[in-house]
Structure 1
Amino acid sequence: MTQITRIAIAQRGVPRVSETFLLAHAEQLPGVTTVVHHVGRAPAENGKPWISQAVGPRAWRKLGRMFTGRPWSWEVTSGLLNAFRHRRPDVVLAEYGINGVAVLEACRIAKLPLVVHFHGYDASAHKVIEKYGAEYTRMFSEAAAIVAVSQAMRRALIDLGCPDEKIVVSPCGVDCEQFRQADPGDAGEIFLSVGRLVDKKSPHLLLLSFSQVLRARPQAKLRVVGDGPLRGVCDDLVVGLRMAHAVELLGAQSHEVVVREMATARAFVQHSVTAASGDSEGMPVAVLEANACGLPVVATRHAGIPDVVIEGETGLLVDERDTEGMAREMLRLASDPQLARTIGGQARRRVIDRYTMRHSIERLSRVLSAAANHEPIHPVKWAIDTELAVTTAESREAV
């Protein structure tokens, strides 16, 4: 297979610190020639728009649109075409489905193959589907490949009309050098949660579970890293359930702090759910990071979590919104440090075998290479599924 040499990455905005997968794609994919962001709505590279934002040129472009009847989105397309002309990519990687819609016209005009990488809400949130559903249909038809991070996302994309043969399931990866082996068996009864305090993470349900743990294990602690719109609700619950002595809400923290927190925890906990808005996870990277540190995970059977967490082997899973079930599994690990050590060790080995950042980047590179060289995606899809040891009947159907 011929190696691609030039990749253009299209991102809607500058990635958040928590979007480590986007940062990794930009920094570690071989052959990246440009990363184009939408600043406001004008495509830009390193903060410099690809179309002039001066008053005169903007006025001329507006008159041109009025004369030709083109929509405002032509501004985005023009900027992208400028970027493509100057950086001469062989393939375009659009991060998130809605950004795939934004770059589709420019790719069509420039005759560039497009690979669209979905990550979570873009395949599930009701408002997104209502707004972009029709445009997704066209994008699915014209894109060279669609990347999903989990089998659940693959199913969602098929329901949205994406041809199954175009979908490659490639989970995110984690830096196992940064997230090093810990020993949860030697840790105190400390539970750690890392993630934004938003509906789909349901930190309030985690707090309800922990309140049950605390009644049975008064010495247990819960440390929560992250911030978001549910911070106030969480603060109130901690006070209302009289858990201030045992729960610490740490707010947003650096990766270095997260690594230190994982080094002293008995287990990682995450109660992800499908929110009322339809928003759901893609593949929670924090779960993989915890597993990479050798921590057992207590989480929900939600989105991509069951793809990477093997029940009873690398973690313990419960149904969404089953707060009693989550409390029960947390208590198992609180009372049995050897179980935590065993499950955590198996989890780290599984990550090293399948889910390192190197694995993730290499898988995505193969998809992009096939697209750039106008090769069939199906062989890449088959090979990646085989490497991930996907053996369920449903996954066999996927290939």
Structure 2
Amino acid sequence: MSRLKILAVIPHLIRPSEVWMYRQLQVFRHQDLHIIAGHRHQHEQFDLTGIPITTVPESMNNPLRGLRRHWDRIRFPGMQGTRYGQHQRQWFREQVCRIRPDAIHCQYGTVGLSTLDAVAGLNIPVFVQFNGDGLSCLVHRRRGRERMVRSIGNFAGLITVARYQQQWLLRRGATPEHVALIPYGAPLEPDATSIRPQRSNCQFLAVGRLCEMKSPLNLIRAFALCQSLHPASRLTIIGDGPMRGETENLIQRLGLKDHVTLQGVQPAEVVRRQMLQADVFVQHSVTAANGMMEGWPVAIGEAMSRGLPVVATRHAGICEQVTQDVNGYLCDEFDWSDMGRCMADLAGNAMKRQTFGRQALRLSLDARVQTHTQLDFIRKRLGVSRQSQRPSTLQQAA
């Protein structure tokens, strides 16, 4: 099978929380992979050596605001996505003509919309992957909803990671063949349950940004209830974010300073070791005020692939990861008291933790298999695109 020339368009290179993106690029690199990134935030744990990477010039990398944005909308009324101005669009178009990809793969809905604008008329298939907030925030506002609905048919393929995203697109005109549901998956560790230490004091672990959508305050309240029933329990939180100060204050007020550890951002290998040492994974995701929702939370997927039972909320794609009373427990958003009772149930029952953990591993999805499924979808859709395509205008545009 011939290699595809894929241009991956991503907003930045690569933040520690986006390990899923790195795993995808590691599979894509066995094709003829090129990357265009908006910002260079590449973390030292992610090795992209050997992949041609082009970064948007700093002078073109600030979104238009105020009168400049209004004037750009008047001049180019058909344009979608975040507005960076005609100079960036022209620069991006020139890069695409230079690279001459078989397909463009965009991370996040806004990036996909902006890319569609820039390559209009070049007859290059554009695929977009929706990653939680990449769809939920975009369509929370009327203008964003309208832009996306108008553009659905212009994408060669739409890749979703959660069923609610797939259903939203199907209800608005996408065809089943046009939309793929492909969760990220995670690296599988089949021996994880056998190496986990057996103990009576339960070690809880949470991994994620300390932000509104992750609702760390409700998680702390839930743990406080659990800890009042099982005083030996401990909670470790890996991650940082705008709510760290509030989280620390609540820990102090509830007298949990000796029972909760905030470790901040940690490399993937540290997260892996912590998961192999923990007993239960916890996450209290909620829908944020701006509409932001999870897609398919990678941290939960990684915890399951390492044999951890999960206590989480009925939120977005989590319901497709956690099956009630099989590999964990689900509670309603903001219901920290129910979450605390679920945590307490597992804290007091090592046998149930082990049973749920084995089921979590059984239900896990392999990240490499999932990314190869994406490649198969892209190849299949490329066949459809090429049959319906007019002769390419790429050469003239170059």
Q: TM-score, normalised by structure 2?
A: 0.82
Matched, 1:12 2:11: yes
CA 1:357 to 1:273, structure 2 compared with 1: closer, same or farther past 3 Å?
same
| Aligned mates of 1:35, 1:112 — CA distance in 2 | 16
Q: In structure 1, the residue corresponding to 2:149 is in which secondary structure?
A: helix
Structure 1 residue 76, shift from structure 2 partner: 2.8
Aligned to 1:95: 107
Unaligned runs of at least 5 residues, structure 1: 54-64, 377-399
Aligned to 1:142: 154
Q: Deviations over 1:228-270 (max 9, x none)?
A: 0110111011000111111111111111111121122110000
| Aligned mates of 1:254, 1:359 — CA distance in 2 | 23
The letter of the residue matching 1:256 is E
CA 1:126 to 1:225, structure 2 compared with 1: closer, same or farther past 3 Å?
same
Aligned positions of 1:9-158 closer than 5 A: 9-29=8-28, 30-39=30-39, 46=53, 48-49=55-56, 73-125=85-137, 129-158=141-170
Structure 1 residue 313, shift from structure 2 partner: 1.3
| Aligned mates of 1:51, 1:308 — CA distance in 2 | 39
Aligned to 1:58: none
| Aligned mates of 2:336, 2:236 — CA distance in 1 | 17
Unaligned runs of at least 5 residues, structure 2: 41-51, 61-70, 387-398
Superposition CA RMSD, Å = 2.8
The letter of the residue matching 1:79 is W
Aligned positions of 1:314-353 closer than 5 A: 314-351=327-364
Matched, 1:369 2:368: no
Identity rate of aligned residues, in percent?
29
Structure 1 residue 182, shift from structure 2 partner: 5.7
Aligned to 1:60: none
Equivalent of residue 273 in structure 1, options 272, 286, 311: 286
Contact 1:178/1:259 (<8 A) preserved = no
| Aligned mates of 1:91, 1:35 — CA distance in 2 | 12
CA 1:328 to 1:293, structure 2 compared with 1: closer, same or farther past 3 Å?
same
Aligned to 1:397: none
Matched, 1:295 2:312: no
| Aligned mates of 1:157, 1:180 — CA distance in 2 | 37
Equivalent of residue 204 in structure 1, options 204, 207, 217: 217
Q: TM-score, normalised by structure 1?
A: 0.82
Contact 1:93/1:116 (<8 A) preserved = yes
Equivalent of residue 256 in structure 1, options 252, 259, 269: 269
Paired residues, number: 357
Larger mean Cα displacement after TM superposition, 318-327 or 81-90? 81-90
| Aligned mates of 1:339, 1:205 — CA distance in 2 | 24
Q: In structure 1, the residue corresponding to 2:304 is in which secondary structure?
A: helix
Structure 1 residue 48, shift from structure 2 partner: 4.8
Q: In structure 2, the residue corresponding to 1:275 is in which secondary structure?
A: coil
| Aligned mates of 2:326, 2:282 — CA distance in 1 | 16
The letter of the residue matching 1:197 is L
Q: In structure 2, the residue corresponding to 1:108 is in which secondary structure?
A: coil
- Deviating above 4 A after TM superposition, structure 1's stretches of 4 or more consecutive aligned residues are 47-53, 69-72, 158-165, 177-185
